[in-house]
Chain A
Amino acid sequence: MSELLEARSISKAYQIKSGLLGTAVTSVLHDISFKLGSGQILAVVGESGSGKSTLARQVVMLEQPDSGEMFLEGIPYASCSDLHQRIRMIFQNPIASLNPRKRVYQLLEEPLINYKNLSRSERDDIIYQTLEQVGLDRDQSQLYPHMFSGGQRQRVAISRALVLQPRVIVADEAVSALDVSVQAQILNLMMDLRDELGTSWFFITHDISVVNVIADRVMVLYAGRVMETGSVKQVLETPAHPYTQKLLRSVPVAGNTRALINGDLSTAGDVITSASSCVYWNKCPLADSRCVESVPPMINLDNRLVACFKAG
Chain B
Amino acid sequence: MSVQLSANNYRTPLLNVENLSVDFEQNGRNNSAAESVYLNVHAGETVAIVGESGSGKSATSLAIMGLIRKPGVLRSGKVKLNGVDLLALSSRQRRRYLGKDISMIFQEPTVSLNPSFTIAQQISEALKCHGKMTRAQRYSRALELIREVGITDPEKCLQSWPHQLSGGMNQRVMIAMAISCNPSLLIADEPTTALDVTVQAQILNLLHRLQQKNNMGMIFVTHDLSVVSSIAHNVVVMYAGQVVERCSVDDLFQCPRHPYTEALLKSLPAYHSNTNKRLSSIKGSPPGTVESMSGCRFYSRCNYAKNDCRQSTPDLLGEPDSNSRAVRCFRPLKALSTSNDRPV
Contacts and interface: CB of A to CB of B under 8 A. Distances in A.
Interface of A: 47-48, 149-152, 179-185, 187-188, 191, 206-210, 212-216, 232-233, 246-247, 249-265, 267-269
Given A206-B197, A258-B229, A260-B230, 5 more contacts: A180-B267, A188-B279, A213-B277, A255-B271, A257-B230
Contact of A214 (B223, B271, B276): B276
A254 B223 contact: no
B197 A258 contact: no
B285 A258 contact: no
Contacts of B264: 180-181
Nearest to A264: B202
26 contacts: A47-B198, A181-B267, A181-B282, A184-B279, A184-B281, A187-B279, A191-B278, A212-B269, A213-B269, A213-B275, A213-B276, A214-B275, A232-B275, A250-B200, A253-B343, A254-B225, A254-B268, A254-B343, A255-B254, A256-B229, A258-B229, A258-B231, A259-B230, A260-B230, A263-B200, A265-B202
Given A150-B53, A247-B197, A263-B203, A258 B230 contact: yes
Contacts of A47: 196-199
A149 B275 contact: no
Given A255-B253, A256-B229, A262 B201 contact: yes
A262 to B, nearest CB: 6
B226 interface: yes
A213 B202 contact: no
A258 B227 CA distance: 9
Contacts of A258: 1, 229-231, 233, 249
A264 B201 CA distance: 8
B72 interface: no
A268 B205 contact: no
B198 A250 contact: yes
Nearest to A41: B276
A212 B281 CA distance: 17
A261 B205 contact: yes
B237 to A, nearest CB: 12
B229 A149 contact: no
Interface string B224-267: 11111111010000000000000001100110000000011101
Given A233-B275, A258-B1, A265-B206, A252 B229 contact: yes
B150 interface: yes
A156 B52 CA distance: 21
A251 B197 contact: yes
A180 B197 contact: no
B205 A260 contact: yes
Contact of A255 (B205, B223, B267, B342): B342
Interface of B: 1, 52-53, 150-152, 167-168, 196-206, 208, 223-231, 233, 249-250, 253-254, 263-265, 267-272, 275-282, 285, 342-344
Nearest to B283: A185
A239 B289 CA distance: 46
B285 A149 contact: yes
Nearest to B266: A184
Contacts of A247: 197-198
Contacts of A263: 198, 200-206
A246 B271 contact: no
A37 to B, nearest CB: 14
Nearest to B168: A268
Given A181-B264, A253-B343, A254-B225, A261 B276 contact: no
A265 B253 CA distance: 29
B172 to A, nearest CB: 9
A152 B285 CA distance: 9
Contact of B223 (A180, A232, A261): A180
A265 B229 CA distance: 21
Contacts of B205: 260-261, 263, 265
A257 B249 contact: yes
Contact of A191 (B167, B203, B276, B285): B276
B270 A253 contact: yes
B253 A254 contact: yes
B226 A209 contact: yes
Contacts of A255: 229, 253-254, 270-271, 342-343
Given A179-B223, A258-B230, A209 B268 contact: yes
A29 B198 CA distance: 21
Contacts of A254: 225-226, 228-229, 253, 265, 268, 270-271, 343
B201 to A, nearest CB: 3
A9 B205 CA distance: 38
A265 B169 CA distance: 11
A285 to B, nearest CB: 14
Q: Which 5 A-B pairs have the closest CB atoms?
A: A263-B201, A263-B205, A184-B281, A265-B150, A184-B279
Residue of B197, B253, B281 ringed by the most chain A CB atoms within 10 A = B197
B202 A268 contact: yes
A187 B269 contact: yes
A212 B342 CA distance: 15
Contact of A256 (B230, B263, B277, B281): B230
Contacts of A180: 52, 223-225, 264, 267-268
Nearest to A270: B166
Residue of B204, B228, B231, B285 ringed by the most chain A CB atoms within 10 A = B285
B96 to A, nearest CB: 33
Nearest to A181: B282
Contacts of B342: 255
Contacts of B52: 179-182
Residue of B150, B223, B228, B281 ringed by the most chain A CB atoms within 10 A = B281
B164 to A, nearest CB: 12
A145 to B, nearest CB: 15
Contacts of A249: 201
A252 B281 contact: no
A231 to B, nearest CB: 9
